[in-house]
């Protein structure tokens, strides 16, 4: 397993249950199969390990994402390909995340797009159901906004498309930029 001379950060954003983590894990697995170090930072994992004090207020979400950005930056500057899967609902905070990472490594914002109706239909953790019942406050898409990216580096419509298609599109995007070997996608 080798590190790249220069790693980079692929920041996947989208509604809860959009499929961000699934795409990140599958893409990272393909990169690792090619002998390149890759790491997945997932919002749930970071909240349960690094950011155990983070809640879901706007300021807590901001703090959570900025800490994750610093971890991603450290990994990327040491040659690791980082797939970061976070709802990251606010445009201004995503801009802060980009600024932190781009001081030392390339950063790409990938919008994993699904409709709110599809995200609610999937609801693998039952969170939308609980939010609609009033059991969870400040839930993105229900009583807290998700601000769609205005100019993401790539949009992956993850509704009505097999996930493998989007993983391939993501890896092709990175290979076309010369960041990954063309043999990976």
155/52 Cα distance (integer angstroms): 30
Bridge partner list, 113: 157
84 is in an annotated binding site: no
In a domain, 37, yes or no: yes
- Residues lower than pLDDT 70 in the chain: none
pTM exceeds 0.75 for this model: yes
- Calculate the CA dihedral of residues 13, 157, 138, 55 and round it to 10 degrees: -30
20 is in an annotated binding site: yes
Does residue 45 sit in helix, strand or coil? Answer: helix
In a domain, 21, yes or no: yes
Range of the domain at 42: 8-116+144-177
96/131 Cα distance (integer angstroms): 28
The pLDDT of residue 61: 93
17 is in an annotated binding site: yes
In a domain, 128, yes or no: no
Number of domains within the chain: 1
In a domain, 87, yes or no: yes
Q: 179 near 8, Cβ under 8 Å?
A: yes
Q: Indicate the pairing of strand 8-13 with strand 154-157.
A: unpaired
45/41 Cα distance (integer angstroms): 7
182 is in an annotated binding site: no
The pLDDT of residue 2: 81
In a domain, 138, yes or no: no
Q: Active site includes 88?
A: yes
- Closest to 13 measured CA to CA, from 94, 107, 72: 94
In a domain, 80, yes or no: yes
In a domain, 182, yes or no: no
| Active-site position among 48, 88, 115, 183 | 88
Q: What CATH number has the domain bearing residue 103?
A: 3.40.50.300
In a domain, 123, yes or no: no
The pLDDT of residue 51: 85
Cα–Cα distances in Å, from 53 out to 48, 61, 80?
9, 11, 27
- What long-range pairs does 180-183 form, CB within 8 A, spacing at least 24? 180/31, 180/34, 180/36, 180/81, 181/34, 181/36, 183/34
19 is in an annotated binding site: yes
């Amino acid at each position: 397993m080798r590190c790249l001379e220069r790693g980079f950060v692929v920041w996947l954003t989208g509604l809860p249950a959009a499929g961000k983590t699934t795409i990140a894990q599958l893409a990272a697995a393909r990169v690792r199969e090619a002998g390149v170090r890759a790491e997945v930072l997932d919002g749930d994992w970071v909240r349960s390990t690094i950011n155990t004090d983070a809640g879901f207020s706007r300021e807590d979400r901001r703090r959570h994402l900025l800490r994750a950005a610093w971890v991603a930056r450290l990994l990327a500057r040491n040659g690791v390909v980082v797939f970061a899967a976070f709802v990251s609902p606010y445009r201004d905070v995503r801009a802060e995340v980009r600024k932190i990472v781009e001081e030392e490594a390339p950063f790409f914002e990938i919008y994993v797009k699904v409709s709110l109706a599809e995200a609610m239909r999937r609801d693998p953790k039952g969170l939308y159901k609980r939010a609609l019942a009033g059991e969870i406050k400040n839930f993105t898409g229900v009583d807290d906004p998700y601000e769609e990216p205005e100019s993401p580096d790539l949009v992956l419509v993850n509704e009505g498309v097999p996930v493998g298609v989007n993983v391939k599109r993501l890896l092709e995007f990175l290979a076309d930029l010369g960041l990954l070997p063309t043999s990976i996608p």
